[in-house]
Structure 1
Amino acid sequence: MEFREKLLQFKFHIVFAFLFSLLIAALVTFSPGFLTVLSYFWPLFLSTALFLAAVFFFARTSDLPTSSTISSDGSGVKLAAEGILDYVVGGQEEESDLLDSFTKLD
């Protein structure tokens, strides 16, 4: 009787372990092999590896700004960020001008 009480105490654990083992068995049985997945995704893996190699190459060969070119208050970085934002916003202004010219065709 004592054994049955212990079993009933852990019935949810036993059901969960059984379902989990069935899921793992189904995944192992029905999943494709490693070489199948590798043969399907090799272009993605190769392009990612080449991109990361290019990033590491340019990070190693490019000159990083020294502490003398960037002020301690960060105004040089802010100036560069503002230039990029002005460039991006400038492209959007041309788009809105083009849209206005099309809407004023009446």
Structure 2
Amino acid sequence: MAIQERLLGLAVEFRFHILGAAALAAAVFLLLSVGPSFTTVVSFFWPLLLSTGFLLAAVAVLLRISPPPEATAGERTGEELIHYVAGRPEEAHQEPQAAEEGSEASAGENEGERDEEGHPKSQ
């Protein structure tokens, strides 16, 4: 008798979980009985599945045969972008060391031309 009372107490405590599981089971049963079979779905979508497979295979082959990206090229590209946004695209095409030397020289020449933050004004 104690087991039945304990099970009844658990059923009351987890009533929403039990109802959700029953609804999910009913939905799966209805989908399997009324919905199309797996072979019907595959026969309808086989061109899409085949082309997706070819695309993924081509991407895998291209990743294997292409050379790995250089780490320094990405950093230099970022520096070029910063120089471009700062309004100094001519420094973006120089080497990083030459760009630093050039910015120090131009900062010394244009000592009086600075904006509110103290940065040299761009032309």
Q: Under TM normalisation by the shorter chain, which class is it? A: 0.5 to 0.7
- 1:85 maps to none
Q: 1:44 to 1:15 in 2, by over 3 A?
A: same
Aligned with 2:41 (options 33, 37, 41)? 37
Structure 2 residues without counterparts, runs of 5 or longer: 85-123
Q: What amino acid sits opposite 1:74 in the alignment? A: E
Cα 1:36–1:79, aligned 2, differ >3 Å: closer, same or farther? farther
Higher relative contact order (CA 8 A, sep 6+): 2
Cα distance in 2 for residues equivalent to 1:47 and 1:78: 40
Identity %: 33
Distance in 2 between the 1:17 and 1:46 partners? 36
The alignment status of 1:25 with 2:25, answered yes or no, reads no
Distance 1:49 1:55 in 2: 10
Q: Which has the larger radius of gyration?
A: 2
* 1:65/1:8 CA distance change after superposition, 3 Å: closer
- Structure 1 unaligned runs (5+)? 83-106
Query: Number of paired residues?
Result: 78
What is the identity, as a one-letter code, of the residue corresponding to 2:65?
Answer: T
**Structure 1 residues 79 and 45: alpha-carbon distance in aligned structure 2, compared to 1, 3 A threshold:** farther
**TM-score of the two chains, using structure 1 as the length reference:** 0.53
RMSD value, Cα: 3.2
SS in 2 for 1:32: coil
